[in-house]
């Protein structure tokens, strides 16, 4: 297997390059009898698609998904479920000049060395375009988790050096309204305005900037996660780190927790008002203990580097090892993080759905 | 599969609890004809074993490994290679009082809920004791990688709020000498002294403290990693996050990189003196681009929370949901990070060995 | 994973039902730089497609494949390779009467019980239509194996009680000419004529008949197969048994070998004329010893039951457990074996390609 | 992964060679809270162990199993469960003469070519000794299935050309009594006597003979099996074909069914007396339709070749390609089939347990 497959029981295989005919996914292990709401799937894809605002790439794709199999009379059959998303706006000519040149901090060089061949148009398989297939599959996972009452909410908590304050304790649906009301998808309106202004400035400079996404998974039952190697946070980490441009993952107290003392960090158990379930007074554990969910909110953060395609000329080398110059032209995406919110939620849904099934197997 | 297996081609399955008879591992996919140096394996285990210094747990285990299969006349046969490490110093009576109580921030509650049964002695399978099996397997992976010239070096770069400076550019063997000359395994002697003093103070307080481990993988060939889901850094991240007490993983520029601009962050290619291989002037990419190694040093950092066993009494609940008190007694490990260096290196070796084989398959 | 994925390194996931929009496959692990000859793939599909002769089903499908990803300038890129085959001639009305009835010896009952829902049109996912996706993927595997010089040849060696004689020792290309010159795909012309006449009689009776396919894999290198569980013949067996209507698999001396003595059955080694490679005087081992290929022809046989759709009325039960009658109408395929030759070869190619890569990993 | 792992959810990894220190297994995915009866496990091992009668090998091993992990207070914990079986009677000197010689129809040549190194003593990993680990794991699977009411019964239905009649419809417990009352493990006493006499004659000739094992799995629920690739009979076939000396697998009507007409072969549904469950009048389907169990008895047969170690001198070649002679000496096992009954049942239990968990995941 060469890396295009994810998950044990809720398993997906994706395909598709930036400038190929289409991208798509097969879900092998979608439970049967789930209402497959194509409008919902399309809505999730719309949150990721390019051309959605002035602060993202201007490539125009409708990312229209269609179902090819695995659904009958609106419900999943339990057999292989395939979704297809045609590519529409490939401007392959934009990339002719890339044919023999390695763009800095892109995957051009590594793909060329690994495979001995690369589809250079738009980055080929290394392009973030493939994440549309993940979002489609994640939408199906979300439909499954809806039945279970699990909620997943992510938002842009940092863009560059601008950080949003910690979110108030609130229904995730309320946070979702705020998030979707601004084009940077931050759940704090004031911070969102700052971020948009900053990113627009970066865009005018032809530059790019990174950011962080914070995510909450709520109402996860106790018992998900498979120690010792498939701990829930380890699978979440792998899922997030597999997203283009991600350079870091932390959950619960994260990196800051490494500076704390045990006497400060321990989450004290108490019985929730009215009896079960047990909960904790603090949540430095981020909802996961010993790699298994404990019922508290699962919280984690994902760090994105600034993407490598900048509208400046850069010095580089070509395939023959000679000095070359890469022109600053083509598709410019000043900050991918607003669009990545949908991908983070999709990957979280895929991991939780997978672990739901794995735990169900042993009941 | 319930989480006790790791890797695709260089695959391991581990077993063993804190107070069971033994811990061990089967390697399914060790290449044939590798010199299996049992002394080397034992040396790696010695770096992880308990009772090694005043600033770690005082449990006395020799962690003596023996080979049960898969080796003939000193070389791996390519068949299943099994290693066994008997437990010696289980003080099960220490844990009788834990039988019905959930220790805060431990896995007691989650294991009880997930499985409906738990071996409470010493934390059972949730105990970090299982990591001895990982270190044994990682040692075999290191023996394989030695043939390839790959070097792996980790050290304690932070303990609590004490941070070591960035390491000088130097041969890893030189850094190793410094690291092994102090009981906290920091490759900067001055910082090491600070750390030891701080941790000893924490130990006297009956408390615990966290820290960070930084790791360098050098001489990794170009081309390891399997996009899109099994990117090299994603597999490294999952590997590290599966280690007890880990709450964060970042590689290259990490979380700090999310605050940078693309014009600052891009690593410019240049041809190394004398021709191939291509290298980069900076290394914010941490040696991995598009999820595939590019030949530069792979750099990453792992954040450890302070472990939960503190020598203070704590309020908690028992299995029936009633208030209870957990006594502050038993094995005290003020800081696990010095011993975790061997585990981080072992997991890195397992990931690199696995990806080496995966890339070799397609040549 | 719910059974739609096959293979470790040359891995495929398929999707598609009899009456859905399309069927297709993603290959995750196709080596890079293989010439992907779409005409060759189409040629393989043509050997499996319905409506090809008077002795098969009359459903008309062109089974036209298109490549959606993973190929650039005619060569595989090493990234996910997707093939799509639209369905054209679904006559769903033919199956309305099946909605609540369980056809004898079909998968209707078991799918209904397993999933709680089933796409009854044309058998849904249980229909042999999904094998078109396998043949497409197997064709890509064949293109890879062509580079290695491996040849795969299958033919119909039995239809009902009519058996072809053992094939003469001959170039497989010569046998292929004979096989493709008759509509039952038997490599002995005289037997083919008998078979065609018998099957045509069965067709007129509205009945079905089974048969056997024999297969030879030639020029397989020594060393393919992964004891103890993924022995080469075990993986071939699983592959063949997964094909619709298959009830038996044997290799080498097969079931007959169980009646022999060791002194008769042992294959004596001798050095081939002119030096290496070692070969055997007899080949009761079927080219595989200890689960690993030894360089001799790999030989195996696959037994197909008569398919269950007969043009007679049959007594059965409906979903409520009441007696019902199934009408003898719809698509009639008197003998699936001539079309299954392409599927057997495809599955063999997938297994050999997978094991080729697995062995290459450890070189 | 190099072939030492089996199963998806009830997964096992085994290790151990004929003359190594020990053989053993890790079960990764044993459900929690199963009573692990070590006496029962030992009883199953005793049915497989060498030296048990005059018609088997005279190697003396007690095959005494011990539990190293995964069991607490007599019950499985849901964590990795490891079993160890030390080797006792390795007569390595017996094999010195094999060092450079390839024994006919053994795995010597293929292992040497595949790995470039082989443990020649007693066949190393290719020896059937490794099957003791499978039987130990299969015993745990049987303990799990006991809770579900599933019964598995295998017996020797053929030895050489001697065939037992079809078994009467009877409680499997009654057949078990007959089977265990004779040393060839045939459930028909008259046939057993013939078989024993024949095998003893073969033994005196220093020769070996093959046979067949028939197996029934009763009370399997409807719904086990994962089309399209992990059909229940396909996984059973792979499991059986992975056993040493197996050359064929068939289920239900098997090879004979290929000669039948659909009008004869179809199993007509009828509702069982008293309502559910639906059953069939005949059972050519062998309890599996569309790859999924339908509640009827699952029936299959496994063909074993005569093993290759005969007490005659044989011509062969050595590692340098020169003619050599292999002496007819060492451990002689005239017929492995009586001991293989326990292995067939164990592998069946592993497959059914695995599919039980896979189906449970989606409920």
A277 pLDDT above the threshold of 90? no
Token representation of residue C158:
């039995």
Contact call for residues A109 and C64 (beta carbons, < 8 A): no
Query: Can you tell me the distance from the alpha carbon of B119 to that of B111, in angstroms, rounded to the nearest whole number?
Result: 9
- Three-state SS annotation for chain D: CCCCEECCCCEEEEECCCCCCEEEEEEECCCCCCECCHHHHHHHHHHHCCCCCCCCCCCCCCCCCEEEECEECCEECCCCEEEEEECCCCCHHHHHHHCCECCCCCCHHHHHHHHCCCCCHHHHHHCHHHHHHHHHHHHHHHHHHHHHCCEEEEEEEEECCEECCCCCCCCHHHHHHHHHCCCCCCCCHHHHHHHHHHHHHHHHCCCCECEEEEEEEECCCCCCCECCCECHHHHHHHHHHCCCCEEEEEECCHHHHCCCEHHHHCCCEEECCCCCCEEECCCCCCCEECCEECCCCEEEEEEECCCCCCCCCEEEEECCCCEEEECCCCCCCCCCHHHHHHHHHHHHHHHHHHHHHHHHHCC
- Output b/e per residue, C291-307; b: 16+ Cβ within 10 A: bbbbbbbbbbbbbbbbb
Of D2, D107, D321, the CB nearest to C289: D107
Mean pLDDT of B65-83: 97
Residue C219 C-alpha from the chain's centroid: 20
A276 pLDDT above the threshold of 70? no
Residue B83 has a pLDDT of 98
Mean per-residue pLDDT over chain D, rounded: 95
Strands (E), chain B: 5-6, 11-15, 22-28, 66-69, 71-72, 75-76, 81-86, 151-159, 162-163, 211-218, 246-251, 269-271, 278-280, 288-289, 292-293, 298-304, 314-317, 323-326
Show the CA angle centred on residue D233, arms to residues C218 and D221, nearest 5°: 170
Chain C residue numbers with beta carbons less than 8 Å from the beta carbon of B10 are none
Query: Can you tell me the distance from the alpha carbon of D98 to that of B4, in angstroms, rounded to the nearest whole number?
Result: 38
Order of strands, edge to edge, in the sheet holding D22-28?
D5-6, D11-15, D22-28, D81-86, D66-69
B275-284, B294-303, C353-362, D102-111: least confident range? B275-284
Residue D274 has a pLDDT of 64
Residues in a beta bridge with A13: A5, A26
pLDDT level of residue B274 (50, 70, 90 thresholds): low
Token representation of residue C338:
């001539």
- Nearest residue in chain A measured CA to CA from D360: A361
Within a domain: C276? no
Residue C276 has a pLDDT of 66
> Are C78 and B31 a contacting pair at CB < 8 A?
no
Q: Is the dihedral of CA A185, A188, A192, A195 positive or negative?
A: negative
Domain limits at A99? 5-252+287-360
Q: Who's near D201: CB < 8 A, 6+ residues apart?
A: none
Cβ–Cβ contact C112 with A under 8 A: no
Residue D331 has a pLDDT of 84
A274 pLDDT above the threshold of 70? no
User: Domain count of chain A?
Assistant: 1
> Are C28 and A114 a contacting pair at CB < 8 A?
no
Residue C219 sits in a domain whose CATH number is 3.60.150.10
DSSP conformational letter for C209: B
> Are A268 and B104 a contacting pair at CB < 8 A?
yes
Residues in a beta bridge with D122: none
Mean per-residue pLDDT over chain B, rounded: 95
Strands (E), C200-291: 211-218, 246-251, 269-271, 278-280, 288-289
Q: What is the share, in percent, of chain D residues with pLDDT greater than 70?
A: 99
Q: Cα separations (Å) of C250 from C222, D105, D240? A: 20, 17, 11
In A82-188, which ranges are continuous DSSP H helix?
A: 108-115, 131-148, 172-180
Note the pTM of the prediction, 2 decimals. Answer: 0.98
Q: Would you list the DSSP string of A308-356? A: S--SS-EEEEBTTS-EEEE-S-S---S--HHHHHHHHHHHHHHHHHHHH
Mean pLDDT of C152-179: 96
Mean pLDDT of B28-55: 95
- Output b/e per residue, B11-32; b: 16+ Cβ within 10 A: bbbbbbbbbbbbbbbbbbbbbb
A125 is in an annotated binding site: yes
Order of strands, edge to edge, in the sheet holding A11-15?
A5-6, A11-15, A22-28, A81-86, A66-69
Contact partners of B by the rule of 3+ C-beta pairs under 8 A?
A, C, D
pLDDT level of residue B268 (50, 70, 90 thresholds): very high
Cβ–Cβ contact C242 with A under 8 A: no
Within a domain: D343? yes
Binding-site annotation, residues of D: 48, 54, 125-127, 244-245, 290, 305-309, 331
Within a domain: C282? no
A173: three-class secondary structure by DSSP: helix
ipTM score: 0.97
Chain B residue numbers with beta carbons less than 8 Å from the beta carbon of C361 are 9, 357-358, 360-361
Which candidate, C360, C361, C358, places its Cα nearest to that of C350?
C358
Token representation of residue A317:
């080398």
- Nearest residue in chain B measured CA to CA from D8: B1
Residue B275 has a pLDDT of 59
B232: left (phi over 0), alpha (psi -120 to 50) or beta: alpha
Q: pLDDT tens, D286-307? A: 999 999 999 999 999 999 999 9
For the CA atoms of D352, D353, D358, D360, what is the dihedral angle to 10 degrees?
110
Within a domain: C264? no
Mean pLDDT of C12-27: 96
Residue B46 has a pLDDT of 95
Within a domain: B274? no
Q: Cα separations (Å) of B100 from A295, B109, B121, B225? A: 20, 10, 11, 45
C336 pLDDT above the threshold of 70? yes
Mean pLDDT of C6-14: 98
DSSP conformational letter for B124: G
Token representation of residue A344:
């983070």
Query: Can you tell me the distance from the alpha carbon of D255 to that of D265, in angstroms, rounded to the nearest whole number?
Result: 13
pLDDT level of residue C51 (50, 70, 90 thresholds): confident
Mean pLDDT of B31-49: 97
Chain D residue numbers with beta carbons less than 8 Å from the beta carbon of A148 are none
B226 pLDDT above the threshold of 90? yes
Within a domain: D205? yes
Residue B276 has a pLDDT of 67
pLDDT level of residue C275 (50, 70, 90 thresholds): low
C154 pLDDT above the threshold of 80? yes
Residue C95 C-alpha from the chain's centroid: 26
Q: pLDDT tens, C112-151? A: 999 999 999 988 999 999 999 999 999 999 999 999 999 9
- Nearest residue in chain A measured CA to CA from D355: A361
Cβ–Cβ contact C339 with A under 8 A: no
- Nearest residue in chain D measured CA to CA from B3: D28
Q: pLDDT tens, D118-160? A: 999 988 999 999 999 999 999 999 999 999 999 999 999 999 9
Q: What is the share, in percent, of chain A residues with pLDDT greater than 90?
A: 87
Within a domain: B278? no
Residue D218: CB atoms within 10 A of its CB come to: 16
Q: Is the dihedral of CA B274, B278, B281, B284 positive or negative?
A: negative
Within a domain: C58? yes
Mean pLDDT of C321-350: 93
Cβ–Cβ contact A299 with B under 8 A: no
């Amino acid at each position: 297997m060469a890396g295009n497959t994810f998950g044990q029981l809720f398993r997906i295989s994706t395909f598709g390059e930036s400038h190929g005919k289409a991208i798509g996914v097969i879900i092998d292990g979608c439970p049967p009898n789930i209402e497959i709401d194509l409008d919902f799937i399309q809505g999730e894809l719309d949150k990721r698609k390019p051309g959605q605002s002035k602060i993202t790439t201007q490539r125009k794709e409708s990312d229209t998904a269609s179902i090819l199999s695995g659904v009958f009379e609106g419900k999943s059959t339990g057999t292989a479920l395939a979704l297809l998303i045609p590519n529409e706006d490939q401007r392959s000519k934009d990339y002719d000049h890339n044919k023999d040149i390695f763009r800095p901090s892109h995957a051009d060089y590594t793909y060329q060395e690994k495979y001995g061949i690369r589809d250079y148009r738009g980055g080929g398989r290394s392009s973030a375009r493939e994440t549309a297939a993940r979002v489609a599959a994640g939408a199906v996972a979300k439909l499954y988790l809806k039945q279970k009452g699990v909620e997943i909410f992510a938002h842009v908590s940092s863009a560059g050096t601008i950080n949003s304050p910690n979110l108030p304790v609130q229904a995730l649906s309320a946070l979702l309204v705020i998030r979707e009301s601004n084009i940077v998808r931050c759940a704090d309106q004031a911070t969102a305005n700052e971020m948009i202004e900053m990113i627009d400035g970066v865009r005018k400079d032809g530059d790019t900037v990174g950011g962080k996404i914070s995510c909450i998974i709520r109402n996860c039952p106790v018992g998900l996660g498979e120690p010792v190697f498939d701990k829930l946070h380890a699978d979440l980490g792998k899922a997030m780190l597999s997203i283009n441009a991600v350079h870091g993952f932390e959950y619960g107290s994260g990196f800051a927790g490494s500076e704390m003392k045990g006497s400060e960090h321990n989450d004290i158990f108490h019985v929730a008002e009215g009896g079960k379930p047990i909960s904790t007074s603090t949540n430095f554990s981020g909802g996961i203990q010993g790699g298994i969910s404990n019922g508290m909110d699962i919280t984690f953060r994902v760090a994105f580097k600034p993407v490598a395609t900048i509208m400046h000329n850069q010095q580089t080398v070509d395939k023959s090892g000679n000095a070359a110059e890469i022109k600053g032209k083509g598709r410019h995406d000043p900050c991918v993080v607003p669009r990545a919110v949908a991908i983070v939620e999709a990957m979280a849904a895929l991991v939780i759905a997978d672990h739901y099934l794995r735990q169900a197997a042993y009941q």
